[in-house]
Structure 1
Amino acid sequence: MQKTARSGRTRFSPTPLMVGMALLWPMAFAVAQTAAPAETAAAPQAGVLQAVTVTAERRAENVKDVPSSISTISGEKFDVLNTGGMDIRMLSGRVPSLNIESSFGRAFPRFYIRGYGNTDFRSNASQPVSLIYDDIVQENPILKGFPVFDVDRIEVLAGPQGTLFGRNTPAGVVKIDSVKPSKSTDGYFNASYGTYGTAALETAFNLPLSGEWNARISAQLQHRDNWVKNDKSPTKDLEGYDDRAVRVQAAYDGGGMFSALFNVHGRDLNGSARLFRANIIKKGTNDLVDDFDPARIYTDGINKQNLSNTGASAKLKWSLTDFNVYSITGYETVNAYSRGDIDGGYGAAFLPTGGGPGFIPFPSESAAGVRDHQQVTQEIRLESKGKGPLTWQAGAYLFQEKLGFDSYTYNTLANNVQSGATLRSDQTNDTYAVFGGLTYAVSDALKLRGGLRYTQDKKNLNTQPLPAGDPNPTNTANGLGSSSDNSQVSWDMGATYKLDKDTNLFGRVATGFRGASIQPAGPFGPLNQANPETTTSFEVGVKSDLFDKRARASVSLFHYDVKDQQLTAVGGSNNAVRLLNAKNSMGEGVEVNFDAYLTPNFLVTLSGSYNQTAIQDPSLAVGTCGGCTVLNTKNAAGLALIDGNPLPNAPKWIANVTARYGIPAANGGEYFIYTDWAYRSETNLFLYKSAEFTAPPLLEGGLRLGYNWGNGKYEAAIFGRNITNQVRVTGAIDFNNLTGFINDPRTYGVQFKMTM
């Protein structure tokens, strides 16, 4: 990356990774010319939906046969979302009941399924939604932001999935599967450029190495110029980024009993942290102030963010006479640093010159960093191969994580120097589990499933004491270290009943578990700990192919109860972060997916959900903001009673619509128009309710017009994201001055894709 001398704007320049990928492309085409042509599957019939295969139960199955609520994203729908430099938050609202938000920008996404998630922003926070990327759990929230590219399929599994997947999955799983190496000599090159200098390049190709070995290399490069102007800080221009990721896979299959898949991947991110903007919410409402300008900010702190992540995995398979044996080993490590101006403005109320914009009670500039991180996972799983009515699988799972994370504070009024020593904390987390599952076909119409898992979860956290006289003394009221040791048995039972050849009914009862959480002591609060939480979920539904497979529909009804749910009270008038347990919380609702070819060239998809959530604890109370309009009753201590409040970041309504219309042209070409729209209703941002900290409804739409030719080998398009240019508060900082952050701006550009 370079900066121009005049404007200070970053300028896109080649990187070694880009050059390497460009040089490999001619070699890939040469291989394609000399290698024997691969066998091709029969072309899909126009206007007919293809069967959706998922691995929600760790086996490849038709989605209709799995007794749980599953939504998928793949193919063109994913490609459209991934155009224009989007990160993993692009999936938010694209399937029922899925919401994703972040107060760190492109790093540290927080996931919510059916309203159930965790708002904790600490580096050692755990989440009840698990992200499984190529069979490896990405436990630390920073790992969950790894770029999504060269993807075969994304599955969103709603409800507890703890008997078969990883750990900490009481809310559900987002499962991402990359395209795997194959014997074919294919690949693609996809590039786009748009407003704010937004450039994206994604490319992948297979390299058949020998009769037994095949490789696949894929990469994604994303760039955006700094487009937000700041006249009050050394960081003059903000909101740009350079995000680079690469994945190399090698597969071995000699046609015998043994096969293997190896994966090495990495990411490098440099750019802006989330931009906090002081006093942007109109008091008494959740509207933006009248003079709000998204392209300007007024902060006197320094803003920057960098992250590096590398990982590797090995998936080994032995195909024995009666069963398969799998060994899945994973390693991940990440280092990160994110610094921002928490007060969202400049100056302070106590200074002779005051501050702005609006009221700034006191300056707050801080950073969080991950200095040391290692995650190792190991799974051994046995899977039956029999053709009879009974199938089974069983295994053992190990998770070990070592995490060193730091907190920094800075003196904004003294040239942004670090004030005091670095607060250093270290945590280890060891989890052991054994699990098993059975499926029994009672008849051709009825299948029963059940699973059982025993989990033991141990944590140990310690914080180093600060030097005597440090200007930011640590609250040591609860000490500087703590540990936890929890165990739990989780289970699930499900049934699928084939009503006819096109329609299945299903039902499922499942439990989930999340181990205790510990948060370190800091200047604004003591060390605190939350007890483990358990979940019980019920759902029933129907999945059906309609109109000779020209349409497909699924409907699910669900209810879940969480005992001792871990919640995070953030901010308030004392600026503290505190872990809490609610005695109970609940959620219930309905989810719908519908896909249909209205004509052979006109495909429409509709999905939506209604989620009603509530905290159920009459005595639970939290601190509130100063200067906002609190809507909850307060107790004698002035704390807000939150019984009956919805869970934070849990919109009642989520809806997504896509439509694609193609017009055939000569010589195998096609003109097309594609549009997609995602809606979420207003959302409570914190545990307490206030007029200002309720994010307003958000409707974002995309549009894509293009032409493909050469039987789909080449494609050119123009695109727009957030085409109505909606600007909404999507999150906030509870800092007594109505500080918030907003959604991404409208972008538009051009895109070209070439497939080999």
Structure 2
Amino acid sequence: MSKDLYGLLAGVALGVFGASGVAVAQAADAPEKEAASAAEGDPIVVTAQKRSQSVDDVGMSIQAFTGDSLRDSGVASASDLTQVVAGFNFSRSNANTPIYTLRGVGFQTPNLSSTSPVGIYVDEVAYAFPYMGNGPLFDIERVEVLKGPQGTLYGRNTTGGLVNFITAKPGNFLEAKLRAEAGNYETYNIEGFVNLPLSDTLAVRLAGRAENRDKGWQRSRTRDERLGKVDRTGLRGSLAWEPTSALTVALSLSWWDDNSDTVAPQATSLDLARPAFAIPGIEDAVFDDGNSRLADWDAAEDGKPAFRTDSRFVSAKLRVDYEFSPDLTLTSLTGYHDLKRRDFTDLDGTPFEILAYQSDGDIESWSEELRLSGDFDSVTWMLGGFYARDRLTDNQFGYYDENSTVRLLRFFGGTIPQTTYTPEEVAGGFRNFRNITNQSNKSWSLLANAEWAVTDRLSLVGGARYTEDTIRFSGCSQDADGNTVPIWNTAVAALTGSNTNVQPNECLTYSADFSDNVLARKKLAQNNVSWRAGVNFEPDPDALLYATVSRGYKSGAFPVLPANVETQFEPAVQERLTAYEIGAKLSPVDFLRFNASGFFYQYKDKQLFGDVEDPVFTTLSRIVNVPKSEVYGAELEAFVQATNELRLQTSATYVHSEITEFVGINRLGNLEDFAGNEFPNTPNWQVNGQLAYDGRISPAVGLKAVLSASYQGAAEGAVGAGQEFRIDPYTLVNGTVSTTLMEDRLELGLFGRNVLNEKYYTTVDTVIDTIFSVPGMPRTYGLYIEYRFD
């Protein structure tokens, strides 16, 4: 954006907020608008405890936002929730996999097949694998973010919390909306919905969003090439049927397709595995000048994929509620998901082929939850059962041609007398390799939860859940069409002392004693009991004090990685988190609501993507368990309805994370005692704020403006890895300014994301030879037009 245009937008924004003062002075002349605005400032009604309640009446740490609030704050996907949710952190792995962290609880895995300790749900159905949440957000009624262990109310165990997106439902009225957006980088998006009542008992709703960006925002430092194009579409169809007053049926089918470019990292420093064999010129590929739009990646070659994703997701949900009486309801919730993923990503941030991955995977997931809920005198209760089955493949095809380890192995292989391979095969060997995985998961559980109103002011809450998880795994690293074995059977065999003779497309992974190459087959079966106990006290109708103790688990995990030896495939066992929390939700005056909480987490066997020493590759990855660690902190949230038109919402989170017991290999290959280190992707401070104005310039013309900002403090990209892995603090500011006409049916607006053009990074990590940073988006801006039909 030019300085002149940026100044114009800033002037418009300042003018809008100046005009808001005039509109406030005119508020007395618009009583009908006052009533609507006051209603908008009321607490959001949520279903966090599987029943409708005001968010301020729920005795747990929960944040909720309406769909309009999310859109106005620039939240277009689950990753953007960092803009509004206190303590929520998003990063993306080097394999394009989303990583969600909440209050320091996360799992920095690149694997498609690993579940997250921060669960993503849509209409209470678990999207158990983070990649499922990569689609666009549209036609959302609200989002609810629950913090701390969740096991007694929702389908899958999580230790960090969950995000539940509630989609807009069909209603018995005719309504439609269409929105079109145009912006820089040749961006054009379209979104809309239509709600159709088909009879007195049946209604359908169709919604969708298409996102297109035809000009990439990342520029290569060495070539006239760009990355950053977007081609993403999402559709959803919903049906609501109420044949009788006792029976309701809700069915929804969702689909998204993504053909966007993947993000290229920046190589910010060197970590050469074999310095003497580094590719010439790699020193010039490293830069750290703060320009997040510059990066580098491998040059396009015949037969090599483009750096983009080719992924699609299909989901179905069926919910049936039968009310035996006003005090007894049976609910069945069935979910089905099918994901196909193909991403090609550069991992090293240089124009050399140090390491690039084509990640291919499939997930078929099915779940069923059955619960009976009711009220008995002063007790609200729920009993239920849950079953889920997942079948997965998670494969990687590596491009490895120019890193220092491969160059060393080729040199060493050329010195070994043998007659099986030609000099040319050895000199070009190990450019490619495969990692293959097949996995089958089964989980079942029984759960119970109850809340007892001891008095009008005091209530007790308790719940428990018994779970059994079984994971069956098979996997190995594998030759790629005869390209890997000329090096594996010569240089690698000599360095490891192995006598194996791997054939084309066989497994390369050695058995534990290096006597054979094997397909590793393993099983992990574990059970647990998660629980929650709490007390709620209302000293007056406008105040709630609560205290809870809860325990949650995240199921074990197998890795997908380059495995020299099968012991790298040993699973991480389930992690356990015990959480203590106290909080208050207060509304001392009509225009102010205030929430505060303090928490302490005791962590056992936290899952971490770590490293092991290797005689050939210096270090290789492995999932490890951290024996003991802890998290503590505090959150503050405030809502101020300054006038009927002007609203302020702000939150702040302080989190201290610390490993208290763990000795292992750091990202640079050195043995280290990690006690005292922070968790990755866990800034100490996060602050969010939103200032919203919704008023009128005249009886016929409305004026809306939203300014939102989020700050994330410094964080570590990897445990104990030093200054090179520091993620610097950053602040993002988004804004929307619009006017409404035609009885508020037509809305014309300006939007800006990262309007201050902050240069920031969400991930810092390492692969062979380089340490890289993954940049965030630069400033984007545009216009939109929206029309509502009813």
Give the TM-score normalised by structure 1: 0.85
Deviation at 1:449, TM superposition (A): 0.9
Determine if contact 2:709/2:732 at 8 Å carries over to the other structure.
yes
Match among 77, 87, 90 for residue 80 of structure 2: 90
Correspondence for 1:655: 687
Correspondence for 1:67: 59
Q: Secondary structure at the residue paired with 1:519?
A: coil
Alignment of 1:416-431 (within 5 A): 419-420=431-432, 422-431=434-443
Deviation at 1:297, TM superposition (A): 2.9
Alignment of 1:236-275 (within 5 A): 236-275=225-264
Match among 359, 372, 377 for residue 382 of structure 1: 372
What amino acid does structure 2 have at the position aligned with 1:236? E
Q: Secondary structure at the residue paired with 2:509?
A: coil
Check 1:399–1:497 CA distance in 2 against 1; reply closer, same or farther (3 A cut): same
Check 1:136–1:540 CA distance in 2 against 1; reply closer, same or farther (3 A cut): same
Match among 17, 32, 47 for residue 55 of structure 1: 47
Determine if contact 2:84/2:710 at 8 Å carries over to the other structure.
yes
Match among 448, 460, 479 for residue 472 of structure 2: 460
Deviation at 1:689, TM superposition (A): 3.4
Q: Deviations over 1:564-604 (max 9, x none)?
A: 11111169983522111111111111111111122222211
Q: Secondary structure at the residue paired with 1:144?
A: helix
Match among 590, 599, 604 for residue 558 of structure 1: 599
Separation of aligned partners in 1, 2:680 and 2:171: 44
Separation of aligned partners in 1, 2:786 and 2:762: 32
Deviation at 1:662, TM superposition (A): 4.1
Q: Deviations over 1:78-133 (max 9, x none)?
A: 121347xx43211114111111111369x632111111000011121221111111
Q: Secondary structure at the residue paired with 1:90?
A: helix
Correspondence for 2:119: 130
Q: Secondary structure at the residue paired with 2:259?
A: strand
Q: Secondary structure at the residue paired with 1:217?
A: strand
Separation of aligned partners in 2, 1:314 and 1:457: 24
Determine if contact 1:515/1:533 at 8 Å carries over to the other structure.
yes
Correspondence for 1:206: 195
Correspondence for 2:738: 706
Q: Deviations over 1:287-338 (max 9, x none)?
A: 9723746145353364121111001111011110241001111100100111
Q: Secondary structure at the residue paired with 1:346?
A: coil
What amino acid does structure 1 have at the position aligned with 2:342? Y
Check 1:686–1:571 CA distance in 2 against 1; reply closer, same or farther (3 A cut): farther
What amino acid does structure 2 have at the position aligned with 1:405? D
Separation of aligned partners in 2, 1:298 and 1:397: 45
Determine if contact 1:114/1:611 at 8 Å carries over to the other structure.
yes
What amino acid does structure 2 have at the position aligned with 1:118? F
Deviation at 1:663, TM superposition (A): 4.6
Check 1:317–1:749 CA distance in 2 against 1; reply closer, same or farther (3 A cut): same
Correspondence for 2:774: 741
Which is greater in Rg?
2
Alignment of 1:304-383 (within 5 A): 304-321=308-325, 322-347=327-352, 363-370=354-361, 372-383=362-373
Match among 176, 179, 183 for residue 172 of structure 2: 183
The runs of 5 or more residues in structure 2 that have no matched partner are 1-31, 273-285, 301-305, 403-424, 489-506, 513-517
What amino acid does structure 1 have at the position aligned with 2:118? V
Separation of aligned partners in 2, 1:215 and 1:574: 58
Separation of aligned partners in 2, 1:530 and 1:411: 27
Deviation at 1:385, TM superposition (A): 4.3
What amino acid does structure 1 have at the position aligned with 2:666? G
Separation of aligned partners in 2, 1:559 and 1:269: 39
Deviation at 1:703, TM superposition (A): 2.0
Correspondence for 1:676: 708
Determine if contact 1:524/1:574 at 8 Å carries over to the other structure.
no
Match among 526, 545, 552 for residue 486 of structure 1: 526
Correspondence for 1:731: 763
Q: Secondary structure at the residue paired with 2:719?
A: coil
What amino acid does structure 2 have at the position aligned with 1:496? N
Separation of aligned partners in 2, 1:93 and 1:279: 26
1:230 aligns with 2:235: no
| Identity %, equivalent residues | 23
Correspondence for 2:445: 433
Correspondence for 1:589: 633
Determine if contact 2:394/2:560 at 8 Å carries over to the other structure.
no
Deviation at 1:547, TM superposition (A): 1.8
Separation of aligned partners in 2, 1:153 and 1:722: 23
Deviation at 1:553, TM superposition (A): 1.0
Correspondence for 1:77: 69
Q: Secondary structure at the residue paired with 1:649?
A: coil
Give the TM-score normalised by structure 2: 0.82
Determine if contact 2:546/2:584 at 8 Å carries over to the other structure.
yes
Match among 649, 654, 673 for residue 605 of structure 1: 649
Deviation at 1:256, TM superposition (A): 2.6
Determine if contact 1:93/1:99 at 8 Å carries over to the other structure.
no
List structure 1 runs of 4+ shifted beyond 6 angstroms.
Answer: 280-283
User: Which segment is superposed worse, 240-249 or 418-427?
Assistant: 418-427
Determine if contact 1:608/1:655 at 8 Å carries over to the other structure.
yes
What amino acid does structure 2 have at the position aligned with 1:74? T
Q: Deviations over 1:430-475 (max 9, x none)?
A: 0000001111110000111100100000000012674686356633
What amino acid does structure 2 have at the position aligned with 1:684? E
What amino acid does structure 1 have at the position aligned with 2:693? Y
Considering fraction of residues, name the structure with more helix: 2
Correspondence for 2:491: none
Deviation at 1:344, TM superposition (A): 1.6
Correspondence for 2:28: none
Q: Secondary structure at the residue paired with 1:692?
A: helix
Q: Secondary structure at the residue paired with 2:642?
A: strand
Separation of aligned partners in 2, 1:571 and 1:99: 27
Alignment of 1:151-190 (within 5 A): 151-190=140-179
Q: Deviations over 1:375-428 (max 9, x none)?
A: 000011001144x201211010001000011110125569x9995564321000
The runs of 5 or more residues in structure 1 that have no matched partner are 1-39, 348-361, 627-637
Q: Deviations over 1:606-629 (max 9, x none)?
A: 111000111111x41223338xxx
Q: Secondary structure at the residue paired with 1:278?
A: strand
Give the root-mean-square deviation of aligned CA atoms: 2.8
Separation of aligned partners in 1, 2:765 and 2:674: 19
Determine if contact 1:108/1:144 at 8 Å carries over to the other structure.
no
What amino acid does structure 1 have at the position aligned with 2:73? L
Correspondence for 2:9: none
1:615 aligns with 2:659: yes
Determine if contact 1:170/1:512 at 8 Å carries over to the other structure.
yes
Correspondence for 1:751: 784
Q: Deviations over 1:641-678 (max 9, x none)?
A: 21111111011111111112345222342223321100
